[in-house]
Structure 1
Amino acid sequence: MVGVSVLEDNLKDESLILGLLDRHPIGVAAVFKRKIVFASKGLARLFGWRREEMIGRSTRIFFSDRASWEAFGERLYRLLEERDDVVLEWPLQKKDGSPIICEIITRRLRPLGDDWIVLSTIRDITAEKRSLRRLKARSSSLRLELSGALEALRREKDFLRRIIDLVPAGIGVWGPKGPVLKNELLRGLLGENIPREIPHLVGRLIRGAGRVFRFEEEIQGRHLLFTLSPIDDQNILLVVEDLTSCVKMREGLETLAQAKASHLLSQERLALMGRLLAGLTHEINTPLTFMKTNIQIFGAYVEGLRRLLEGAELAGEKRKTIDKIISEIRDITKSLEMGAERIAEIITSVKNLGRKESFNEEIDLGQALHEALILTHNKIKHHLRVFINGEPYNRQKGVPLLGVYTTGRRSLLVQMMVILINNAAEAAQRRRVKGATLEINVEDIYPRVVLTFRDNCGGVPEEELSRIFESFYSTKEEGTGLGLYILKEIVNSLEGTLEVECPKEPEGLLFRIVLSGGGGGVERIFNKTFYKGVQDGHQGIGTG
C-alpha cells in the first residue's frame, strides 16, 4: 500500500508508531498530494469512516463542500511554505453529514519527490467552543492518556517530542537525574526557572510516596499550576498550566463582590437617611407653618399699632423714636419672612427629590435647575459663580425663565444637576480656584433639549478623561468614584446621551447632555409661568 511504503521510508519503527497512533485519542493522518496515505483509529472514530475507506481517498471527504476544501488547502499549503508547523481551526463534517469544528495541527515531515509528506493531528473542539468545563475535562483526560502512552514512547523520543509539542500545555518528563524531556511550551513557561519543589517531589514520587502532587507558583509574572504524576518507577510526568487569566478573573470577581457589598450597604444607609429626612422635613414643616402664620399676624399687629400711634399726639422726639422702632420691627419681620420662605424652599426641594413620581412626567428644566441650586447653595455660595444662559445666577432673583421642557423622572433630573454642580464646586474648593465659574446652558433644539455644564476648575488629565465615568474611579483622594458613574446611569435611564470634554482655555470640564423633549416651549412657558409671574409680580422661577 502507498501509505505504508511512505511511512516505512520516513519512520524507523512502523509497528510501534502505528500502535501508538492508534492508541492516541486524537485523529492522526498522513497526507501526500492531498490524499490520505495513513489514518489512525482515532481518525476513524472521529469521522465515522473505516480506515480502509479513508486510505487512498482525497481529504475532500472531511469537508462539507468543495469550496471549503479548496479554501483550506490554499491556506494550509501557503502557510506551510513559510513554516514547518501550522495550526488551523476549520469546520469539517463526519461521514453521516453532521458538522464539527476541528483543530488541525499540521507538520511537514520531509519532501518526497516534488511534494511534501504532511502529518496532521485532528481534534474535535466543538464542545470546547461551547463549554470551558468540557475543555478542562478533555485536557485532564488527555494528560492521563498521555502519561499512559509515555512508557511505550520512551524509545521514540524524537517522535514523542513532536506529539508533546502539539499539546496545549507545558509537558515534561523528569527522571532521577533531572529533566529528560520538555516541550516548547514548557520551555517558554519556565525557561531556566525550575521551582525547587520539583526535584523534591520527583524524588518522593519515584520512592512511591504518593501518586499525584499539585502546587501553584508565580514565575515571571505568570501564575502556574504544576501537576506531577508517576509514569513508571523511574520517570515522572510534569504538566504545567498557565492560570494567569483565571487568577485575574477570580481576583476581579472578588473585588466586584466586595464593591457590590459596599454598594448595597451604602444603599441601605441612603434608604435609612431618606426615611429619616422624610420624617425630619415633616416635623420641620409643621412648626414652620405656625411660624409663617405668626409672622404675618405679628406684621399685621405692628401695622395696626402704627396706625393707632399716627393719631396720637406725641412730642417730636418720642414720635421719631416710635417711628424708628416700628421701621426696625418691619425690617426684622421682613427678614423673618425671607428666612421662613428659604426654609420652605429647601424643604420643598428635598421632598420633591424623594417623592414617588411618574417615570414619564413633563419637567420644567428651569424649575428643576432652581431646585438643584437650592440643594447645592451652601457649596457654591463661597466657591463658585453660576451663570445660566449667560446671565449670572442670583438666589433672590431665581433662575431666569427658560421655557424648556423634557420628560422623565423629576428626581433623577434634579440629582443629575446636583452631581454636576457639586463636582464643579468641589473642584473649585479643592484647587482653590480664583474666579471659579460654572456656565450652565439650556437649549431647546427640537426634538431634543441640550444641557451643557462648563467650569474653569482645572479639568482632568487627557489620559484619565475616558475613565471618569467608571465605577469606583476617582481623581480625588477622598472620592468614592461613584458620582459621575451615577450621573452616567441617570442619563442612560432618561434615554439621553452624555459627553465630556476638557477644554484648555480656560482649563476645565464640559459636560454635554442631550435629552428628549423640545418644541412648544415658548407657548407653554407663556401659559404656565410667565403670565402668572407677571400677575404676581415675579421676575423669575423661585422668586417672591
Structure 2
Amino acid sequence: MIASVTNAATLESAFNAFNEQSALLESSYRELQQQVASLTARLDEAQSARHRELLAKERLSEQLANTLEALPGAVVVLDCHGVISECNAEAARLLNQPLLDRPWSEVAKREFAPVDNADGELQLHDGRVLSLQRRRLGRDLGEILLLTDVSETRRMTEMLARQQRLSAIGEMTARLAHQIRTPLASALLYASQMSPGDCSDASPGGKVVARLRELDRMVADMLQFASGSNQDDEGIDVALLLADVAETGSLPMEAASRVAVNIADSNLRIAGNRGALKGALLNLLDNALIASGDEGRVDLGAWRDADRICLTVSDNGCGIPENELGRVFEPFFTTRPQGTGLGLAVVRSVVDAHQGEVVLESGSQGTTVSLCLPAAAIPSAQRAPERGFCHA
C-alpha cells in the first residue's frame, strides 16, 4: 500500500516536471517564431531596399546611355591600354566601323588625314574638321575622348573674317579711290602719248599703258565689289555690248584675232547697269585670254533661255581643276601670283545685283562662263528682223 502511494507521487512529480518542460519549450518555440518572423521581416525589407537600389541604378544607367547617345559629339572611352571599350552612335558615324576593342592609335591613323594643326584639331579624309578633348577617368582607369564636328563653325569663322576684310577694303576704297584714279587717269593720258608712232605692246610705251590699264582695272574691281554694283534700269543692246567688250578687251593687237562674237539673234536686250556688266564681261574675257594661251581662241556669245538672256564667254584652254570649281568666285581666291582674287567675285556681285545667275562649265576642252540675266522687253518700234551677228 505504501509502495503504491510512493509510485503515484513519483508519477505525479514526473508529470508536473513534464508539463513545466512542455510549457518552457512552448515558450521558447513562440519566442523562436517571433525571432524568425522578425528576421524574415528584416530580410524582406533589406531585399526590397536592395531591389529598389538596383532598379534606381538600372534607370540611371539607362538615362546615362540615352544621354550618351543623344550627345551631338562623338564619345569614345579608352581602357588603361588605350583600347576602345565603349562608344556612342555619333562616334560610329564619324569614325566608321570597327571601333570596339580596337586601339585608338589604329583608328586615328585610319580615319584622320595627316595635317599639321596647331589648334589640336583633327581632319577627316573627307575634309571635315573635328575638335578633340581628352579627360582621364582616374588612375589606371583609362580616359574618355570627346570629338565634335566644328566644320560649320570653322566655315562661319572664315566667312566672318572674310566679311571683315571686305568691310575694311570697302572703307579703304571709299577713301582712296578718288585720289588713286585721278592721277592714274593723267598717267594713262601721258603714257599713251609717249610713243605715238608705236602702239604695240612690245614698245616701252605700250607696256606702260598696259600696266596702267591693269592697275585701273584692279581699282575698278575693288570699287564695284565694295559698292555692291547697284543696278540701273537701262535698256542694253546685247550685240552692241558684246562688240564693245570684244573691242576693249582686244586692244592688244595679239589678242584681237583671238576674240570672236557670235550671236544668233541681234534683238536680244537686257536691263541693267551697262558699265557694271561690261566690267564683268571684261573680267571674264581677260581670264579666258590668259587661260587659252597665245594660240587659243575666245568666243563671246548670247542666247535666249525662256525669259532670260545668257551672255557667254568661252575659251579652249585646259579648264579649271575640279577641286577649284567651287571656290573660283570666292573673294580673294586666286591661283595667280599677282592676282587679287576679286575679279570673279566682282562678276558674281554684278550678276547678283541684276537678279541673275552665274553658270560655270569647265573641262579638259575649255571653260564657259554664262551670265544669265532677266530679258528686257523690246519696243516694237525698235524691233529688227531676227538676224545673226558676228564679229571677229
Q: Report the TM-score range of the alignment, normalised by the length of the smaller protein.
A: 0.5 to 0.7
The number of equivalent residue pairs is 287
Q: Which runs of 5+ in 2 are unaligned?
A: 1-46, 92-97, 106-118, 198-212
| In structure 2, distance between residues paired with 1:26 and 1:461 | 54
Q: Report the equivalent of 2:367.
A: 509
Q: Report the equivalent of 2:238.
A: 365
| In structure 1, distance between residues paired with 2:244 and 2:271 | 17
Gap change, CA 1:18 and 1:260, over 3 Å in 2: same
User: Does the 8 Å CA contact 2:85/2:101 hold for their aligned counterparts?
Assistant: no
| In structure 2, distance between residues paired with 1:190 and 1:170 | 11
| In structure 2, distance between residues paired with 1:403 and 1:171 | 70
Kindly state the Cα deviation for residue 421 of structure 1 after the two structures are TM-superposed: 0.9
> For the pair shown, which has the larger CA radius of gyration, 1 or 2?
2
Q: Are 2:88 and 1:228 aligned?
A: no
Kindly state the Cα deviation for residue 249 of structure 1 after the two structures are TM-superposed: 4.7
| In structure 1, distance between residues paired with 2:133 and 2:178 | 52
User: Does the 8 Å CA contact 1:444/1:518 hold for their aligned counterparts?
Assistant: no
**Residues 106-157 of structure 1: CA deviation (Å, up to 9, x unaligned):** xxxxxxxxxxxxxxx66699xx7xxxxxx68xx9xxxxxxxxxxxxxxxxxx
| In structure 2, distance between residues paired with 1:438 and 1:181 | 59
**Residues 412-458 of structure 1: CA deviation (Å, up to 9, x unaligned):** 312221121111122234xx3x1x22221234566432322222233
CA RMSD of superposed structures (Å): 5.3
Q: Which runs of 5+ in 1 are unaligned?
A: 1-12, 29-41, 43-104, 106-120, 129-134, 140-167, 195-214, 292-331, 333-345, 392-400, 527-539
| In structure 2, distance between residues paired with 1:386 and 1:238 | 66
* Superposed counterparts of 1:299-448, under 5 Å: 359-369=232-242, 372-373=245-246, 375-378=248-251, 381-382=254-255, 385-389=258-262, 402-429=266-293, 432=294, 434=295, 436-443=296-303, 447-448=307-308
* Superposed counterparts of 1:42-57, under 5 Å: none
Gap change, CA 1:524 and 1:503, over 3 Å in 2: farther
| In structure 1, distance between residues paired with 2:237 and 2:310 | 13
Q: Are 2:315 and 1:455 aligned?
A: yes
User: Does the 8 Å CA contact 1:358/1:408 hold for their aligned counterparts?
Assistant: yes
Kindly state the Cα deviation for residue 481 of structure 1 after the two structures are TM-superposed: 4.3
- Aligned AA (1:279): T
| In structure 1, distance between residues paired with 2:187 and 2:304 | 38
Gap change, CA 1:179 and 1:387, over 3 Å in 2: closer
- Alignment TM-score, normalising by the size of structure 1: 0.40
- Aligned AA (1:493): A
Q: Are 2:329 and 1:499 aligned?
A: no
Q: Report the equivalent of 1:22.
A: 56
Gap change, CA 1:493 and 1:424, over 3 Å in 2: same
* Superposed counterparts of 1:183-222, under 5 Å: 183-184=86-87, 188=99, 191-193=102-104
| In structure 2, distance between residues paired with 1:362 and 1:476 | 36
Gap change, CA 1:266 and 1:18, over 3 Å in 2: same
Kindly state the Cα deviation for residue 265 of structure 1 after the two structures are TM-superposed: 4.3
- Aligned AA (2:53): G
Q: Report the equivalent of 2:76.
A: 170
User: Does the 8 Å CA contact 1:384/1:428 hold for their aligned counterparts?
Assistant: no
User: Does the 8 Å CA contact 1:226/1:240 hold for their aligned counterparts?
Assistant: yes
User: Does the 8 Å CA contact 1:502/1:508 hold for their aligned counterparts?
Assistant: yes
Kindly state the Cα deviation for residue 472 of structure 1 after the two structures are TM-superposed: 4.9
Q: Report the equivalent of 1:239.
A: 144
**Residues 481-539 of structure 1: CA deviation (Å, up to 9, x unaligned):** 443343234323312233233466xx32222332212442673377xxxxxxxxxxxxx
- Alignment TM-score, normalising by the size of structure 2: 0.53
| In structure 2, distance between residues paired with 1:183 and 1:124 | 11
Q: Are 2:177 and 1:274 aligned?
A: yes
Gap change, CA 1:267 and 1:422, over 3 Å in 2: farther
User: Does the 8 Å CA contact 1:26/1:122 hold for their aligned counterparts?
Assistant: no
Identity across the alignment (%): 17
> Which of 378, 385, 388 is residue 520 of structure 1 equivalent to?
378
More divergent stretch after superposition (488-497 vs 356-365): 356-365
* Superposed counterparts of 1:72-91, under 5 Å: none
- Aligned AA (1:19): E
> Which of 484, 487, 497 is residue 344 of structure 2 equivalent to?
484
| In structure 2, distance between residues paired with 1:169 and 1:384 | 64
- Aligned AA (2:318): G
User: Does the 8 Å CA contact 1:499/1:511 hold for their aligned counterparts?
Assistant: yes
**Higher RCO, Cα 8 Å, sep 6+:** 2
User: Does the 8 Å CA contact 2:132/2:146 hold for their aligned counterparts?
Assistant: yes
| In structure 2, distance between residues paired with 1:462 and 1:216 | 29
SS of 1:458's partner is coil
Q: Report the equivalent of 2:18.
A: none
- Aligned AA (1:425): L
| In structure 2, distance between residues paired with 1:517 and 1:220 | 46
User: Does the 8 Å CA contact 1:224/1:240 hold for their aligned counterparts?
Assistant: yes
Q: Report the equivalent of 1:5.
A: none
Kindly state the Cα deviation for residue 384 of structure 1 after the two structures are TM-superposed: 5.6
Kindly state the Cα deviation for residue 469 of structure 1 after the two structures are TM-superposed: 3.8
Q: Report the equivalent of 1:200.
A: none
User: Does the 8 Å CA contact 2:320/2:363 hold for their aligned counterparts?
Assistant: no
